[in-house]
Each structure stands twice: as structure tokens, then as C-alpha cells.
């Protein structure tokens, strides 16, 4: 009996050729596909379901989510980008929202998704009133440019220098306020600023993230996190009798293994007597010694190798007083080469003195009751390379601390790129909302409805902040909005922490202007993309229907 003979919705018991049972279930016919406005409505509802999940994580009082991977691994976080990245989403439009994260700015993903969800909710009510989705999208884009222009107008500049980074530290603390590391946010903020300032080019207003590495080990407390002006590698010296400290290190960085050349694949080597075996052993030893001599002739006193080497090579390296580190990964090899101004050498014949990396100190760092070891390369020739070494009581805390550091480093980077800032706590959104609503009243076209909807959607950010902080959302928003209009003060926002003052400049709750501007534009673009989709076509299913 074929599958087509089974009645729809019924199950049939069967056995394979080995007698193992299985069940065949035929689907209930083809799925009904929606088109046009009905499809757009269903897409909006699907996207809104994603925003409703992430909304409660916004702000310093936002709640965490537990995400369970298919393998059973658990992640606890309130970082919007991480939640979206780990969510298993089936609906195509919801996937579109999940994949539309802002990797360029690095922070504020939660705000983007909450704003996009509010815009879609407003669009749904406008569609029900008969306004075409394209006109709604056009109105949103106009409103977005008005909002961005208003943020440009009210933005303030903050000053900083290589010597005075106090404003940058306070900015980083704002980003860390909602993270798990908030118990040590002074230390983490200083680490983030020191890391960025170590690699920043203030003349070009540029920060090379390739020079900042964030590593972590379980054990200790968050307060034990430190910044190393150099590179940390999760390896130790290959032989326990090698010295654990190398000063004035001249490093040979190799991507070739310490082993004799092998015969080609189509040849083989037969050993038929003890003498032949001894000859082969002597040959291998001579080759090992020749490789070691090539390295020492260049003046190198430390070898870092991407590949491994066997016990004999390890023993000979120790006897010839040449410390070595093996099985160092590709990204670490590249970072070591950058930090020490060395060249990665693929063959021993190409090794020369001018290709060696230079570091003032290379040492083994041991910690914990198990005496785990890591290699620390300090006082590098390129002093701009830094590593943040995170400690924590378990892997989940370390992972969350790494995400928090990434966000704060991105915020500091954004301030260096453009030192204009707007104020947090929903102050910037309320200010932009008032400007858009005012412009909508002066607009005669049908897009005025979309502009008013945009202004209402902007209020969703301070509403969510107030709700997550345990305040009465409507009362808190109304009071702050009225105060902004009365005092003409764009710095007034939601007092999430209960300090008794709504002036965000006094609390120093600020956001980089380029970050806030990007959030508005990204949310608008995502919503426009969703509003323009009126059908989802599965190519294989469509072909089956045509046949």
C-alpha cells in the first residue's frame, strides 16, 4: 500500500525489513495559504510574538530569559542580540525580525525589536482602517527622518581625552546597568574604557576590534576580572621541565609541524630489520635537530607552533633549551603575530631573524585548585593589543559577562567615533515622539496617520522601561511627557532606579547618538520590509501543487 492510499489524518502501523515497527501518518491535505492583506496581518502577528518575548528584558530592571539549546545547554541572559540569536523560530517573517540584528552598532538590539513591534502593532490598526501598507511604510520613513533630525538637534557633546576618560567610564556604566555584571560595573566599565583606549586611534576616530580579545576561565569572582596589556593563550609550555618564564622573548611563530618529511601517499616504507629501524630513528632525530638548529640560528628563544610534535621532538626541544608551545589555534596565532609584530612562517626554510615576534615577558599563569595553566604574553612590540581575562563562578556567568563587556566596548567605541550623545530612560524617544506628532499635525496627506502612529510607537520604549521598573506605565509616561513640553527639556526620562529625579543628565544615563539613530532607522527598515511582504511561497510546495 502506498502513502496516497492512506486516508488523510489516519495512521498506519508498519514494519521495516528488520521487523522494527514504525507509524505512517498522512497529513490533512494541503495547508491553506493566505494572500494580500490577510497575509500581512498574519506576518505582523508573528513578528509581534517575538517582540512580546523580548520586551520584558528592556532597561536596567529588565528580566532575564533561560534559553535551552537542542543539545540541552542552558543560557541565562537579558541581552537582546543573544536571545534573538538563540531563539528557535519557525515562522518566516519572525525569522526575518530575528536575523535583522544590528551587528554594526553592537548595542541596543532590544530597543530595535521593541520599537519594531510597536510600529507593527500601529500598522495593523491602520490597515484595518483601510490605509495601504505602502503608504504606511512611506509615512514611517518620513517620521523616522523627522525623529532623527530632532535627535541631532538636541544632542549634546561629551569631552574625553587619553588622560581624562571619566565621561567614557560613566557612559560604559550606563550600558552595564542592566547586565549581570552590574555588581562590579565600576570595574568592568574601567576595563572596557582601558581596552578601547589602548587600541583606539583618536586622530582617525577609529577602534580596531581585532586587537581586543576577551577570554575567560571558570573560577574566582567577577571582581577578579583583569585587563592584560598583551595576549593570553589557553595553552602551557609543551614540556613540564621547560622554564615557565621567558624574558626578552624572540618568538618563532610557526604553522609547520616539528616532524620529519613523510613519503608521498602513493609510496610506503617497509622496515624489515632492527638495523633499518635504528637508521630511521637516527634519521628522524637528525631532522628534529636540524629544525631546532634552524630556529636557534635566527636568535629565537621561544617557539609557538600551530601543530603538535611528538615526545621525541618535545624532549629534544627541552634538551636544547628551546621552550615551545604547541596546538595554538589559528585566531590566537594571528593575534600573537599582530601583538608581537612577528610574521607567521609556514616552512622552517623561510624562518629569519626579521620575522621573529618580540615580547618583554612570556610567563605561565596558574590558578585554581586544579592548577590550570595559561600562557601570558606581555610587553609586546605592538603594545596596542590587549586581552580581557574574565573570571566567574560558572560558565553561564562568564558568557554573560563577555556579552556585557562586548556591549560596553561597543558603546565606548561609538562615543570615540562620534562624541555626541542623547539621554536614556526613554528621554530621546519622548523628545522624538513630540517632534513627529507636531509635524504630523502640519501634514495634509494620508501619511499623517502613519506619522502619528510612529509617534505613538516611540512611546513604547519609555512605557516598557516604566513597566519593567515596577512603575505605573501610563502615569509615568504622561508625567514625563508633560514635563518635557512644559520645561522644554529633552533630558527628562523615566526614573527606572528610583533616584527621585527624572533628569537623565544628572543621573548620567546617556546613549551615543549614532547608536540611537541606528536603532530608529533599523526598526523602520525592518517594518517596511515586513509590510511589503504579502505572500510566502515555498518553492518545492508550489511545484507540487502545480503537478
Do the Cβ atoms of 174 and 59 come closer than 8 Å? Answer: no
Do the Cβ atoms of 494 and 462 come closer than 8 Å? Answer: yes
Above 60 in pLDDT, residue 33? no
Over range 131-143, report the average pLDDT. 91
pLDDT at residue 445 in the model:
83
Pairing of strands 200-201, 206-207: antiparallel
Pairing of strands 11-15, 156-157: unpaired
Over range 435-451, report the average pLDDT. 88
pLDDT at residue 28 in the model:
41
pTM: 0.75
Residues 6+ apart with CB under 8 A from 343: 253, 337, 354, 355, 357
Mean pLDDT of the chain: 81
Above 70 in pLDDT, residue 89? no
230-382 carries CATH number 3.50.7.10? yes
Give 257 or 30, the one with higher predicted confidence.
257
The catalytic position among 138, 407, 495, 511 is 407
The catalytic position among 75, 79, 138, 503 is 79
Asked about 340 being catalytic, the answer comes back as: no
Q: Where are the domains of the chain?
A: 1-30, 36-157+422-531, 230-382
Confidence of residue 9 (pLDDT cuts 50, 70, 90): very low
The catalytic position among 82, 109, 340, 387 is 109
Q: What is the pLDDT of residues 145-159, one digit of tens each?
A: 999 999 999 998 888
The Cα–Cα gap between 16 and 18 comes to 5
pLDDT at residue 424 in the model:
84
pLDDT at residue 142 in the model:
93
* Closest to 464 (Cα-Cα) out of 14, 23, 54, 121: 54
Give 492 or 383, the one with higher predicted confidence.
492
Q: What is the pLDDT of residues 213-256, one digit of tens each?
A: 888 888 878 888 888 888 888 888 888 888 888 899 899 999 88
Share of the chain above pLDDT 70, in %: 85
pLDDT at residue 431 in the model:
92
Asked about 265 being catalytic, the answer comes back as: no
Q: What is the pLDDT of residues 36-50, one digit of tens each?
A: 677 778 778 877 777
pLDDT at residue 143 in the model:
93
Confidence of residue 97 (pLDDT cuts 50, 70, 90): low
CATH of 36-157+422-531, one of 1.10.1040.10, 1.10.560.10, 1.10.10.10, 1.20.1250.20: 1.10.560.10
pLDDT at residue 17 in the model:
58
Do the Cβ atoms of 250 and 302 come closer than 8 Å? Answer: yes
pLDDT at residue 91 in the model:
57
Over range 370-396, report the average pLDDT. 83
The catalytic position among 77, 110, 165, 174 is 110
Q: What is the pLDDT of residues 506-527, one digit of tens each?
A: 888 888 888 888 889 888 988 8
Over range 176-187, report the average pLDDT. 76
- What's the chain's length in residues? 547
Amino acid at each position: 500500500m502506498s502513502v496516497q492510499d492512506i486516508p488523510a489524518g489516519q495512521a498506519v502501523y508498519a514494519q521495516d525489513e528488520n521487523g522494527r515497527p514504525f507509524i505512517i501518518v498522512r497529513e490533512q491535505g494541503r495547508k491553506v495559504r493566505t494572500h494580500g492583506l490577510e497575509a500581512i496581518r498574519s506576518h505582523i502577528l508573528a513578528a509581534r510574538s517575538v517582540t512580546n518575548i523580548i520586551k520584558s528584558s528592556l532597561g536596567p530592571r529588565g528580566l532575564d530569559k533561560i534559553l535551552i539549546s537542542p543539545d540541552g545547554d542552558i543560557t541565562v541572559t537579558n541581552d537582546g542580540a543573544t536571545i534573538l540569536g538563540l531563539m528557535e523560530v519557525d515562522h518566516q517573517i519572525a525569522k526575518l525580525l530575528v536575523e535583522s540584528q544590528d551587528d554594526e552598532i553592537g548595542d541596543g538590539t532590544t530597543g530595535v525589536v521593541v520599537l519594531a513591534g510597536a510600529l507593527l502593532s500601529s500598522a495593523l490598526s491602520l490597515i484595518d482602517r483601510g490605509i495601504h501598507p505602502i503608504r504606511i511604510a512611506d509615512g514611517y520613513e518620513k517620521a523616522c527622518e523627522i525623529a532623527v533630525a530632532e535627535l541631532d538637534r538636541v544632542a549634546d557633546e561629551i569631552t574625553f581625552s587619553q588622560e581624562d576618560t571619566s565621561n567614557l567610564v560613566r557612559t560604559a556604566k550606563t550600558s552595564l546597568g542592566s547586565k549581570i555584571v552590574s555588581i562590579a560595573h565600576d570595574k568592568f566599565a574601567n576595563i572596557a574604557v582601558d581596552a578601547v583606549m589602548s587600541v583606539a586611534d583618536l586622530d582617525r576616530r577609529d577602534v580596531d576590534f581585532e586587537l581586543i580579545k576577551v577570554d575567560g576561565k571558570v573560577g574566582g569572582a567577577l571582581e577578579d576580572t583583569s585587563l592584560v596589556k598583551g595576549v593570553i593563550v589557553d595553552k602551557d609550555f609543551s614540556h613540564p621541565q621547560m622554564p615557565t618564564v621567558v624574558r626578552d622573548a624572540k618568538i618563532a611563530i610557526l604553522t609547520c609541524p616539528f616532524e620529519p618529511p613523510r613519503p608521498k601517499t602513493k609510496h610506503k616504507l617497509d622496515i624489515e630489520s632492527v638495523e633499518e629501524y635504528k637508521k630511521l630513528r637516527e634519521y628522524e632525530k637528525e631532522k628534529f635537530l636540524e629544525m631546532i638548529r634552524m630556529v636557534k640560528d635566527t636568535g629565537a628563544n621561544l617557539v609557538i607552533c600551530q601543530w603538535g610534535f611528538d615526545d621525541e621532538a618535545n624532549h629534544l626541544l627541552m634538551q636544547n633549551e628551546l621552550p615551545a608551545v604547541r596546538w595554538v589555534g589559528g585566531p590566537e596565532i594571528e593575534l600573537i603575530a599582530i601583538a608581537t609584530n612577528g610574521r607567521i612562517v609556514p616552512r622552517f626554510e623561510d624562518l629569519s631573524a626579521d620575522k621573529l615576534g618580540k615580547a618583554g615577558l612570556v610567563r605561565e599563569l596558574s590558578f585554581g585548585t586544579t592548577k590550570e595553566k595559561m600562557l601570558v604574553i606581555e610587553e609586546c612590540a605592538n603594545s596596542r593589543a590587549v586581552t580581557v581575562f574574565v573570571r566567574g563562578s560558572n560558565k553561564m556567568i562568564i558568557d554573560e559577562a563577555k556579552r556585557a563587556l562586548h556591549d560596553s566596548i561597543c558603546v565606548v567605541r561609538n562615543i570615540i567615533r562620534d562624541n555626541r550623545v542623547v539621554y536614556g530612560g526613554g528621554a530621546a524617544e519622548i523628545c522624538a515622539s513630540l517632534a513627529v506628532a507636531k509635524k504630523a499635525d502640519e501634514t495634509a496627506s494620508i501619511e499623517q496617520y502613519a506619522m502619528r502612529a510612529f509617534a505613538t510607537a516611540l512611546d513604547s520604549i519609555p512605557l516598557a522601561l516604566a513597566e519593567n521598573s515596577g512603575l505605573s506605565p501610563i502615569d509615568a509616561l504622561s508625567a514625563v511627557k508633560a514635563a518635557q513640553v512644559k520645561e522644554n527639556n529633552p533630558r527628562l526620562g523615566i526614573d527606572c532606579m528610583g533616584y527621585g529625579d527624572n533628569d537623565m543628565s544628572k543621573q548620567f544615563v546617556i546613549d551615543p547618538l549614532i547608536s540611537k539613530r541606528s536603532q530608529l532607522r533599523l526598526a523602520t527598515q525592518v517594518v517596511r520590509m515586513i509590510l511589503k511582504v504579502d505572500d510566502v511561497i515555498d518553492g518545492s510546495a508550489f511545484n507540487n501543487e502545480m503537478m
